[in-house]
């Protein structure tokens, strides 16, 4: 890859750690791919996107095998102006913090924390958050770590700015043979194999792949390589049963080998699939189901949609650091700011494939993203203006003016399987009635959800109206159109997951369509801009149209 000619590059690198990328520049795509491993997108208006260098982003890059020299070279290659020298020094210093402290095994003392920098070790030993988790000092560079505190030590260290490189051994777990079957001709794709290799080369960690790119198959391949008793944690019961179906179809596991631990069933087997919801359900004031983590000699714990981990599961994960942990997700974005807990407790990013790269290989469908801005009636605008601040988003997002727009969008794709997705149940019930379509919410029984999903897959139902229960882990490869009418405020990960519902590749190569229907001059419009940030980082652009462009030809 050639360097940009001085004064002509697409990137402006500023001393406050912000990177400004000119989207219209002919090298913008190559530059975006170059900085994606270490820079986080903050804002993505039409012409200039703003990225930021953060310690966590740089540490993730370091853990994934990128060194400071590569990051500096990328900044120098694409920068239009001279890069501030102080920033380059700062990048090198921040990345050098990763690995100054190492968790390792000692032949006599067991788990230890060692440092190649005695001053750093002295600094962390004096932290009141770290000191109680440690044991005796062995020498100037080494201190014993209480084994049950392995995870909490890593949490505390990353908050001090000294992320530990965990090189301690993992418990193998009780052996249980798991093989892959390719009876229907399927084989792992190159990037899926690379993801599995990256995970096992480094221990525990997170694999980031686009929705529809086969994250579950990466999990299956990791299980087969480990061939040990495995605990799989998923978002809901429907996802659990999809995992079960994949395991039965693509591995040598039998029905008796796989247990479901959910609200409906409490089976513990050599391979057990549990929902996050049941894990955080209290019984007599206690999180009793967390004992599932100790129910078997697990050699591998798989966290599906790892970016959704509840706090209670984080706490239990901190206590099982001797088990291999594989996190699967389409995006590591967490709106609660706990991305550092994913890094320290599950592990750093071990593999990350840009969405557009996977699309270019034909493994996910190309997507056309459109934001349809709806002008509210005078009455709706007044209702919005008079609403209490904490109700204002709901009032704007649920404006009745959206109904005809959604109906018109549905009519534009009469033969395409379509999902209408939203946040608010009253709005969704009205839309379901208006479109004559079934509605799926959290109150819909699991067996009814599965029946409707199956009807959608076979074409018996061509439109589903769904709440946030369909955001994650729902395999609907036939879906081609998604119309989003409301969301979880400005959630970037939710936007990515919703687009993901339609990214499964189509047999005839046709594109997917993703519409966000947004109320103009409300905070619905502001939140929509924030939701789109992650997808903009992946190279997706939203065309913005007025609702009259949608209604006009169909009126």
Would you state the pLDDT for residue 25? 94
Would you state the pLDDT for residue 202? 79
Residues 370 and 354 in one domain: no
Task: Tell if the pTM clears 0.85, that is, is over it.
Answer: no
Residues 105 and 161 in one domain: yes
For the chain of 555 residues, list the mean pLDDT of each consecutive stretch of 10: 64 95 91 89 76 92 91 96 95 95 94 92 94 93 93 94 92 94 83 93 87 91 96 90 94 96 88 89 74 87 88 83 91 75 89 82 89 94 92 92 94 92 94 95 89 91 89 74 82 77 80 92 86 76 86 54
Instruction: Tell me whether residue 373 is in a domain.
Output: yes
Q: Which residues contact 504 (CB under 8 A, 6 or more apart)?
A: 212, 364, 365, 475, 476, 477, 478, 479
Instruction: Tell me whether residue 128 is in a domain.
Output: yes
Helix or strand or coil: residue 355?
Answer: helix
Would you state the pLDDT for residue 554? 38
**Cα–Cα distance, 469 to 120 (Å, whole number):** 46
Residues 83 and 232 in one domain: no
Would you state the pLDDT for residue 45? 67
Residues 252 and 345 in one domain: yes
**Cα–Cα distance, 515 to 520 (Å, whole number):** 15
Residues 61 and 108 in one domain: no
Would you state the pLDDT for residue 164? 94
Would you state the pLDDT for residue 46? 66
Residues 129 and 50 in one domain: no
Residues 255 and 401 in one domain: no
Instruction: Tell me whether residue 118 is in a domain.
Output: yes
Instruction: Tell me whether residue 406 is in a domain.
Output: yes
Total domains, the chain: 4
Domain stop point among 358, 390, 417? 358
Whole domain around residue 15: which residue ranges? Answer: 11-97
**Cα–Cα distance, 325 to 336 (Å, whole number):** 22
Instruction: Tell me whether residue 200 is in a domain.
Output: yes
Instruction: Tell me whether residue 180 is in a domain.
Output: no
Instruction: Tell me whether residue 227 is in a domain.
Output: yes
pLDDT per position as a tens digit, 233-286: 998 888 899 999 999 999 999 999 999 998 878 899 999 999 988 888 877 667
Would you state the pLDDT for residue 476? 76
Instruction: Tell me whether residue 408 is in a domain.
Output: yes
Residues 48 and 150 in one domain: no
The CB density around residue 413, as the number of other CB atoms within 10 Å, is 16
Residues 493 and 349 in one domain: no
512-519/481-484 β-pairing: parallel
């Amino acid at each position: 890859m050639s360097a940009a000619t001085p004064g002509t590059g697409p990137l402006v690198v500023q001393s406050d750690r912000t990177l400004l990328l000119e989207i219209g520049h002919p090298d913008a795509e190559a530059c975006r791919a170059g900085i994606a491993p270490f820079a986080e997108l903050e804002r993505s208006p039409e012409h200039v996107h703003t990225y930021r260098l953060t310690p966590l982003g740089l540490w993730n890059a370091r853990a994934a095998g990128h060194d400071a020299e590569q990051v500096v070279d990328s900044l120098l290659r694409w920068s239009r102006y001279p890069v501030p020298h102080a920033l380059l020094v700062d990048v090198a210093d921040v990345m050098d913090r990763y690995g100054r402290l190492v968790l390792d095994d000692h032949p006599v003392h067991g788990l230890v924390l060692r440092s190649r920098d005695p001053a750093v070790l002295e600094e962390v030993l004096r932290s009141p958050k770290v000191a109680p988790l440690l044991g005796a000092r062995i020498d100037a560079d080494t201190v014993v770590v209480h084994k049950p505190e392995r995870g909490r030590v890593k949490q505390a260290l990353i908050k001090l700015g000294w992320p530990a490189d965990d090189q301690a051994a993992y418990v193998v777990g009780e052996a249980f043979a798991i093989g892959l079957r390719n009876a229907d001709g399927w084989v792992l794709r190159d990037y899926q194999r690379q993801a599995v290799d990256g995970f096992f080369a480094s221990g525990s960690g997170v694999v980031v792949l686009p929705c529809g790119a086969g994250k579950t198959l990466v999990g299956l391949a990791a299980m087969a390589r480990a061939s040990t008793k495995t605990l799989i944690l998923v978002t809901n019961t429907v996802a659990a049963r999809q995992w079960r179906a994949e395991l039965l179809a693509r591995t040598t596991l039998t029905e008796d080998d796989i247990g479901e631990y959910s609200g409906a069933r409490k089976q513990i087997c050599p391979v057990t699939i549990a929902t996050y919801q049941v894990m955080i359900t209290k019984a007599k004031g206690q999180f009793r189901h967390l004992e599932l983590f100790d129910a078997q000699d697990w050699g591998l714990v798989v966290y599906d949609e790892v970016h959704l981990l509840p706090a209670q599961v984080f706490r239990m994960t901190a206590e099982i650091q001797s088990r291999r942990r594989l996190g699967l997700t389409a995006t590591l974005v967490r709106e609660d700011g706990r991305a550092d807990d994913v890094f320290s407790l599950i592990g750093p990013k071990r593999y990350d494939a840009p969405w557009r790269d996977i699309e270019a290989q034909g493994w996910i469908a190309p997507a056309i993203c459109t934001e349809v801005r709806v002008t509210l009636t005078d009455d709706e605008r007044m209702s919005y203006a008079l609403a209490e601040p904490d109700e204002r988003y709901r009032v704007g997002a649920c404006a009745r003016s959206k109904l005809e727009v959604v109906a018109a969008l549905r009519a534009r794709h009469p033969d395409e399987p379509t999902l209408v997705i939203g946040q608010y149940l009253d709005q969704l019930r009205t839309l379901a009635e208006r479109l004559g379509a079934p509605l799926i919410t959290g109150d819909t029984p699991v067996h009814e959800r599965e029946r409707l999903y199956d009807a959608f897959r076979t074409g018996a139902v061509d439109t589903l109206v769904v709440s946030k229960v369909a955001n994650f882990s729902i395999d609907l490869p036939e879906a081609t159109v998604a119309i989003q009418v409301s969301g979880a405020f400005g959630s970037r990960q939710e936007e990515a997951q919703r687009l993901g519902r339609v990214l499964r590749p189509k047999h005839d190569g046709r594109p997917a369509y993703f519409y966000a229907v947004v109320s103009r001059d409300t905070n619905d419009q502001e939140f929509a801009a924030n939701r789109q940030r992650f997808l903009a980082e992946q190279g997706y652009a939203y065309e913005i149209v007025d609702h009259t462009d949608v209604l006009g030809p169909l009126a």
